[in-house]
């Protein structure tokens, strides 16, 4: 009696361009998250330095003021040194990181001329951008 027959080996070759795109996307995600974290930490340190002596009150919920509810207002206030806006800007960067990934992937599919993935990725990007710019929480 003989043992089981050896299975034929299946060799999958990958396109070097795909591997390069994956590396670029991975680096984009890493840099996006690290940048967002750094901005949040800097803003948090400034916020503590400015308001760390004030006692926290949790009996009443205080929503963010209207001046910091839009991306443009957050950026303007962050550039003026508002520590709350700097923290919020870091969070906007964190949210924008995967959106940038989708945009980069869309560019890769355009270069590859893959119409199905171009359409699908463009639709996903449009929904993400709509939610980021015009969405309401």
The residue segments making up the domain with residue 80 are 20-50+65-134
* Position 49 pLDDT exceeds 70: yes
What does the DSSP 8-state code read for residue 64?
A: P
Tell me, yes or no, whether 79 lies in a domain. Answer: yes
Tell me, yes or no, whether 4 lies in a domain. Answer: no
- Closest to 39 measured CA to CA, from 90, 78, 91, 97: 90
**Are the beta carbons of 118 and 110 closer than 8 angstroms?**
yes
CA–CA gap between residue 40 and residue 5 (Å, rounded): 59
**How large is the average pLDDT for residues 30-41?**
97
Tell me, yes or no, whether 57 lies in a domain. Answer: no
Other CB atoms within 10 Å distance of the CB of residue 131: 12
Other CB atoms within 10 Å distance of the CB of residue 123: 11
Tell me, yes or no, whether 105 lies in a domain. Answer: yes
Tell me, yes or no, whether 6 lies in a domain. Answer: no
Tell me, yes or no, whether 100 lies in a domain. Answer: yes
Residue 137, pLDDT score: 46
52 phi/psi in degrees, rounded to 5:
-65, -20
| Range with lowest mean pLDDT among 16-20, 21-25, 29-33, 126-130 | 16-20
**Are the beta carbons of 74 and 81 closer than 8 angstroms?**
no
- pLDDT tier, 2 (very low <50, low <70, confident <90, very high otherwise): low
Tell me, yes or no, whether 9 lies in a domain. Answer: no
Tell me, yes or no, whether 115 lies in a domain. Answer: yes
- Closest to 74 measured CA to CA, from 127, 49, 83: 83
Domain count, the chain: 1
Give pLDDT tens digits for 66-123. Answer: 778 788 889 999 999 999 999 999 999 999 999 999 999 999 999 989 899 999 999 9
Residue 3, pLDDT score: 67
- pLDDT tier, 58 (very low <50, low <70, confident <90, very high otherwise): confident
């Amino acid at each position: 009696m003989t043992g089981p027959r050896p299975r034929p080996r299946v060799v999958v070759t990958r396109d070097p361009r795909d591997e390069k795109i994956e590396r670029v996307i991975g680096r984009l995600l890493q840099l996006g998250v690290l940048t967002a974290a750094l901005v949040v930490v800097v803003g948090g340190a400034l916020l503590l330095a400015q308001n760390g002596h004030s006692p926290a009150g949790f009996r009443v919920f205080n929503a963010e003021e209207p001046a910091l509810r839009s991306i443009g207002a957050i950026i303007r206030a962050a550039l003026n040194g508002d520590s709350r806006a700097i923290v919020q800007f870091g969070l906007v960067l964190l949210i924008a990181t995967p959106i940038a990934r989708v945009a980069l992937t869309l560019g890769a599919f355009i270069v590859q001329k893959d119409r199905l993935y171009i359409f699908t990725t463009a639709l996903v990007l449009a929904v993400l951008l709509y939610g980021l710019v015009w969405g309401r929480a």
